[in-house]
Amino acid sequence: MCNLRDPGRHRAETGEAALVTGTAVSERFEGSDLSDRYSRQVLFPGIGRQGQERIRHSRVLLVGCGALGSVIAEILVRAGVGSITIADRDYVDETNLQRQSLFTEEDWRASLPKAVAAERRLGAINSAVRVHSVVTHVRAGTIEELIAGQDLILDGTDNFETRYLLNDASLRWNVPWVYGACVGAYGMCVAFVPRRTPCLRCLLELMPPPGSAPTCDTAGVIGPIVHLVAAMQSAEALKLLTGRTDQLNRSLVCVDLWENRYSALGLDERGRNPDCPACGRGELEFLEGRMEGQAEPMCGRNAVQISRSVPRPVDFGPIAERLAAQGPVTHNVYLLKASFGGCEVVLFRDGRAIIRGTQDIEEARGIYSKLIGD
Ligand SMILES: [Zn+2]
């Protein structure tokens, strides 16, 4: 049985304004004969010349360019999408190189933003594709500008809050999106088509409590599951971009490459929840910013506070166990303290956190996301 909330349980049970940094584009291959560069893809009956033309005129938004995003971006750029907008808030770190296949040691040494490093690499792979890198935290206030004119959203994020935002944005602007997630050797993929399939909130109405789900930074992750999930997402993307929605995998696909378990939870239109807050009642709370976590620097304390609009109680025991691999963790009934990336994280029972050792809001958000999971 697939478990969106906690991939680990599956194993146990079943065994602001965006900063547009540049555009890599060349006219060199515009109008080149499709039978050359894309010949093997055109030969594939599912795509053909007509499908390739549709791909060439398509516009894709990729949110998050870490592990999944790297692989998705490379596949779609090689496949010849018309344009890809890559939005990511992070920069290349040494620990990324094991699985984030677009990045090099040079990118890490230069501390390049992932979106920028990705744009450079992708421009060298296929100069006919317009690649826009946007260094930003995708949130309620920035998503509209990013989604305008896009045909499809690809999920390369690492947190639930952004995924729920993508779900709302997909419904508001009628743009399909393809969810993907992985941790350890376990991964999941599902394509959501507004009002034709269930949406994310039909499957999981509420965000999991902070810290309840493992993350790659607490439970690790291996390269093969990243490539597998990203490959599944990219295949669904090609079906959507070529208009072959009849071929979509109408299942939530779950794979554990270490435990050798594969499952698919069938989802069709009948699986839509009429009481779903998002696609049923039309309450797009994440898009309206009502559910967004707030981050603010704490005056004179070299710290950032992250608070939730809707407090969600956390259970310190399992979080402490999960974070133990990162370094010393202590907790009492009121709060939990852990160290990460040179910062100290203090987490309170209502999901609020203080990240000490930085005044950079995005860095603090990133640490919260990596440790706590949303
Ligand atoms: Zn729904």
Q: Based on the domain organization, do 225 and 308 belong to the same domain?
A: no
Q: What is the spatial distance between Cα 101 and Cα 70, in angstroms, rounded to a whole number?
A: 6
Q: Are 242 and 46 in contact (CB under 8 A)?
A: yes
The H or E element that residue 87 is part of is strand 83-88
> 203: CA distance to ligand 1 center in Å?
7
| Ligand 1: centre distance to CA 68 (Å) | 24
Say what the pLDDT of residue 5 is: 57
Residues 128/80, Cβ–Cβ less than 8 Å: yes
Q: What is the DSSP letter of 148?
A: T
- Cα of 279 vs centre of ligand 1, distance in Å, is 4
**For residue 300, what pLDDT band results from cuts at 50, 70 and 90?**
low
Query: Same domain, yes or no, for 202 and 350?
Result: no
Does residue 281 lie within any of the structural domains?
A: no
pLDDT, tens digit, for every residue of 107-144?
A: 999 989 999 999 999 999 999 999 999 988 888 888 99
What CA–CA distance (Å, rounded) separates 241 from 251?
19
Rounded distance between C-alpha atoms, residue 231 and residue 286, angstroms: 28
The helix (run of H) or strand (run of E) holding residue 224 is: helix 223-241
Percent of the chain with pLDDT over 90: 55
Q: In angstroms, what CA-CA distances link 62 with 57, 150, 226?
A: 16, 10, 16
Give buried/exposed letters for 299-310 (b at 16+ CB in 10 A, else e).
eeeebbbbebee
> 223 and 366: one domain?
no
The CB-based long-range contact list for 2-6 (8 Å cut-off, 24+ gap) reads 2/188, 2/252, 2/253, 2/254, 2/263, 2/264, 2/265, 3/254, 4/181, 4/188, 4/203, 4/204, 4/252, 5/204, 5/208, 5/212, 5/213, 6/208, 6/212, 6/213, 6/214
Distance CA 251, CA 220 (A): 26
Assess whether 167 and 221 both reside in one domain: yes
Give the count of beta carbons closer than 10 Å to the beta carbon of residue 275: 9
Does residue 2 lie in a domain region? no
Ligand 1 mean position to 272 CA, how many Å? 6
Predicted local confidence at residue 229, as pLDDT: 98
Cα distances from 95 to residues 5, 120, 184, 322, in angstroms, run 25, 20, 15, 18
Please calculate the CA angle 152-181-318 and round it to the nearest 5 degrees.
145
pTM higher than 0.85, yes or no?
Answer: no
Question: For residue 277, is it within any domain?
Answer: no
- Confidence label for 279 from pLDDT (cuts 50, 70 and 90): very high
Residue 203: is its pLDDT beyond 50?
Answer: yes
Residue 63 lies in a domain: yes
| pLDDT surpassing 50 at residue 28 | no
Last residue of a domain, one of 208, 240, 271: 271
Backbone angles phi, psi at 145, to 5 degrees: -65, -35
3-class state of residue 104 by DSSP? coil
Which CATH number does the domain housing residue 314 bear?
3.30.310.10
Residue 372 has pLDDT above 50, yes or no: yes
One domain for residues 153 and 205 = yes
* 244 and 119 belong to one structural domain: yes
What mean pLDDT comes out for the span 87-102?
A: 92
Whether 34 and 131 map to the same domain: the answer is: yes
**Rounded to an integer, what distance in angstroms lies between the CA atom of residue 293 and that of residue 39?**
47
- Of 215, 224, 222, 226, nearest in space to 325 by CA: 215
- Separation of CA 253 and ligand 1 centre (Å): 18
- pLDDT for res 86: 98
> What single string gives the DSSP state of each residue in 241-276?
HTT-GGG---EEEEEETTTTEEEEEE--GGG--TT-
What the block records as the tokens of 212 is: 């309840």
Report the separation in Å between the CA atom of 266 and the middle of ligand 1, taken as the mean of its atom positions: 15
d(CA 337, CA 354): 10
Q: Are residues 212 and 66 in the same domain?
A: yes
Domain end among 240, 271, 302: 271
Asked whether residue 88 is assigned to any structural domain, the reply reads yes
Which domain does 139 fall in, by range?
Answer: 7-271
On whether residue 287 sits in a domain, the answer given is no
Measured in Å, residue 322 CA sits from the centre of ligand 1 at 31
Poorest-pLDDT segment among 13-27, 58-72, 236-250, 262-276: 13-27
Are residues 154 and 238 both part of a single domain?
yes
- CATH number of domain containing 230: 3.40.50.720
How remote is the CA of residue 10 from the centroid of ligand 1, in Å? 23
Could you tell me if 253 and 307 lie in one domain?
no
Q: Confirm whether 23 is domain-assigned.
A: yes
Does one domain contain both 176 and 264? Answer: yes
Q: How far apart are CA 39 and CA 198, in angstroms?
A: 35
Domain count, the chain: 2
Specify if 223 maps to a domain: yes
Residue 363 CB-half CA count within 13 A: 18
Residues 349 and 209 in one domain: no
Sequence letter at residue 200: L
Residue 276 C-alpha to ligand 1 middle, in angstroms? 5
